[in-house]
Structure formats: structure tokens, C-alpha cells
Amino acid sequence: MKKRTIWLLAALLVLIGIIGVSIRSGKSEVAGITAEVRKGEFLVDITTTGELEAKNSVQILGPQGTRNYRIWNMTIQDIIDEGSIVKKGDFVASLDPSELTNNIKDAQLELEKIESQFIQTKLDTTLEMRQSRDELINLAYAVDEKQLVLDQSQYEPPATVRQAEIDLDKAKRALEQARENYKIKRKQNVAKMQEVSLNRQKSERTLEGMQELVKSFRIKAPEDGMLIYKKDWNGRPVKKGSQISAWDPVVATLPDLSSMLSVTYVNEVDIRRIAAGQRVIIGLDAFPEKEYSGTVLRVANVGEQRPNSDSKVFRVTIVLEEQDEMLRPAMTTSNRIITEAVQEVLHIPLECLFNANDSITYVYRKGAIGIEKREVMLGQSNRNRVVVQAGLEQGDIVYMSDMGDRAKGEIALLPQMDGRRSGDRREKKPSEEANQGAEVQGILDSLIHTFGESFTP
């Protein structure tokens, strides 16, 4: 009997040794990336990509009034590099004047033609009025002659006297009609001269306006500042070779760098969660170590279709609260728009979540004697983490990779959901849990007694 007891003790020691070796090897096998369950503020956010622009800026305008000369579009022939620092009066850009130059040549030819018409009309009216004055003089002489004839016919027969009187009346009427016609012709010729004179003046003003306008095709900076290219309707920079419209002749801008905006676009699915006044955490692609705070300034009421996109988006403008000389227009920003801040909640990385076939969400939790799969109830999430409403406690360690067969046993379901998820399972009573805990503690105590205090499962 005593010998049998010795053999049993030896077998037990061998078994304990095997268990210790397996536990130690298991520990090395399950080594992996873990995360701790944290408790604290949880930010629910929407992350978008935006672009910096100045809140206020001075526009550098091209020529004004080109529509008066039927010039609708102008091509930028040359422009300095974006980001250049300019002083007031410095050269900024030049526009292609070829269309205006052709119009100037046409205007010069038109002016020469009108000038010729003016001279011709002036000569014609001068000659016509001279002829009319000569005619009046001749008719006046004719009246005098008829008067002499009448005076000399006083001793003639009555018929002769009567004929002289009739001839005198005819001469007077002819003179009077010629005088009236002269007045009318004079008015007509004055109107003709006024017309050709106005045409000549109009043509001269047109030519002078074009000659003055062509000077403004060389554009200078209206103020000191940093030059930034203007964006067209498609979001592309207006640069050398681009065209500007006569209705919107902005060539470039000089932004005020003391106040910056981040302009971004939010998908129509998320826009209902965005409102003016929300806090924003802003990062820069150019300087990843930098982080700025901002506030949503305004949200567009109407969506728009962006290039290369099938969905509607809404323009959201964010104002930066800090100033930094590193901030430059057109820099790419990452914007975390905080839609909600939840205080004192448990949260873990999204990589820690796994799904079973029956849609149970669970995690691999590091337990006292190994890895266990535990169901969790989730709350809100952001792009990196998720709130855990039940299933874990602060300080628990969970794995961020699928531990597979290294996790023993089935998924430990939440007590309040255990009965609903499986009809043949029942919630464990506190007494049963206490008994199981006592058994586990007893095993641990035996192992520690056997392998020493260095044993840590």
C-alpha cells in the first residue's frame, strides 16, 4: 500500500511537471500584441480631409471692362510662382494681348475710314451750302431786275405793266422759297456733320480705350503679401496657360495668413451630425507632429457634386483658433470633427473585436490561467476605438489578433444575454461561480507550491 502511494505521488509529480512545461510553452505561444481596457473620455468624431485657405484675402484682378471691347476670355501668358513674396507694385502676371492687339488694328482702320467719311461729308456740305448761297444772291438780283422792269413800264400799256408785276411776284416767291430751302439744307448738313463727327469721336475713344487697356494686361501686386493661385470651378489652380473670364477676372490672391480656414467636404450620410460650433482637431500632412484646435464655422445648406465623385457632399468651413507662421494656403489638413464627447466610459481598439458565426461580438481576454473568449456589448465608435458597455473591466488585457485555438473553451456570454442567445444554457448562480473560483485558486496554489514563487500563469 505504501509502495502504491509512492508510485501515485511520483506520477502526480510527473503530471504536475508536464502541466508546468505546457503552461510555460503556452505562454510563449500566446505572446502577441495586447491592449489595455481604458476608462475615460471617448470622442465620437468624423474624420475628413480638407485644405487650408485664408479667411480674408486681397484679390489680384486682371483688366477691367474687357467686355466693352468684346473680349470674353483672357489667357495667362506668364505668372510668378505660387508662394512668392511680393511687394506692392511688383510684377505678378501678364495676359496674352493678341486678341486685343487685333482689335486695336481693326479700330485704327475703322477710325481712318470714319475720318475719310468725315472729310468727304465736310467737303460735300461746304460745296452744297456755297451753291445755295450763290443761288440766293442770283435770285435777289433777279428780283431787282424785275423791279426795274416794272418801274420802267409805267408808261406802257396796262397789259405790259401787269406782266411786269407778275414777273416781280414770281421772282420774290422764288427768292423766299430759296431762303427757306437754304435754312433746311443748312440744318440737314449740320446733322450730317454731327453724325460723322460723333462716329469719329466714338471711334477715337474706342481706340484710346483699347490702347489704355492693353497696358493693364501686365498685372502688378496691389498690396504686399504671398501670392496664391486662384482655384477655378473644378478646383484646379489658375496658372500659366489658364484662362480667366471677363466676368471674374481674378488672377491670384494675396491671403491674410493671420486667420486661416480649413475647407472640407462631408458626405451627405454624415452631414446631419455636423453643426456650427463643434470642436475640431486639425492636423497637417506636411507637419504630422503639429496639431491645432478649431471650430466649425458654417455648414452648407445645399450639397454639391465634386469631380470624380458619385455621391453628394456638403461644404464645411472650419476656422483655426491658433496662429502659426508654418500655416500656408492649399496645405492638406486632416479634420477630426468632434460630434460627441462621452465621459468616463470603457473603450478598446477596434482591432480587438471578433465575430462568431451567430453574430456574437467577442474579444480574446488574457485570464489568470490562459486566454478566454468573452462576449462584449458595444456602444459608440470612432475610427480607432469603440466603447464597451459590458463584458470587460478597466485594466483588462485583450489581444489585438485572432488567437484561434490558443483560447480554450467556448465564448463566455454576457449574463443578461445568455438565455436569449442559447436556450439550453442558463446563467450561473453566484454560488457556482464561487465554487469554480475556489477550484481554480486551489490549482494555482498547488502549482505555485510546486514550482515556486517564480511561477506566473
Task: Identify whether 262 is part of a domain.
Answer: no
Which of 160, 186, 215 corresponds to the end of one domain? 215
Which of 193, 215, 237 corresponds to the end of one domain? 215
What pTM does this model have? 0.55
At residue 26, what is the residue type? Answer: G
Task: Give the CA count within 13 Å in the CB-facing half-sphere of 19.
Answer: 17
447: exposed, middle or buried (Cβ count in 10 Å: 0-12, 13-18, 19+) = middle
Range of the domain at 202: 98-215
Task: Identify whether 362 is part of a domain.
Answer: yes
Q: What pLDDT digit, counting tens, does each position of 391-418 carry?
A: 898 999 999 988 877 877 788 888 865 5
Q: Domain count of the chain? A: 2
> Among residues 285, 299, 294, which one has the least CA distance to residue 261?
294
Q: How confident is the model at residue 360 (pLDDT cuts 50, 70, 90)?
A: confident
> Can you tell me which residue has the cell 480674408?
56
Task: Identify whether 87 is part of a domain.
Answer: no
How far apart are alpha carbons 282 and 49 in whole angstroms?
A: 10
- pLDDT(437) > 70: no
Task: Identify whether 135 is part of a domain.
Answer: yes
How far apart are alpha carbons 22 and 179 in whole angstroms?
A: 138
- Whether the CA torsion 229, 232, 235, 239 is positive or negative: it is negative
Q: How far lies 446's CA from each of 39, 369, 441, 442, 449, in Å?
A: 35, 13, 9, 6, 5
Residue 344, sorted as left (phi over 0), alpha (psi -120 to 50) or beta, turns out to be left
CB contact at 8 A, 129 and 193: no
Which of 215, 246, 275 corresponds to the end of one domain? 215
Q: Give the model's pLDDT for residue 414.
A: 84
Task: Identify whether 91 is part of a domain.
Answer: no
Q: How far lies 445's CA from each of 16, 26, 28, 448, 450, in Å?
A: 12, 19, 22, 5, 9
At residue 403, what is the residue type? Answer: M
Q: What pLDDT digit, counting tens, does each position of 149-177 carry?
A: 888 888 888 888 899 889 889 989 999 99
Residue 362: give its domain's CATH number. Answer: 2.40.420.20
Q: What pLDDT digit, counting tens, does each position of 10-51 carry?
A: 555 556 655 554 444 444 444 578 899 999 988 888 999 999
Question: How many other C-beta atoms can be found within 10 angstroms of the C-beta atom of residue 262?
Answer: 28
Task: Identify whether 124 is part of a domain.
Answer: yes
Task: Identify whether 90 is part of a domain.
Answer: no
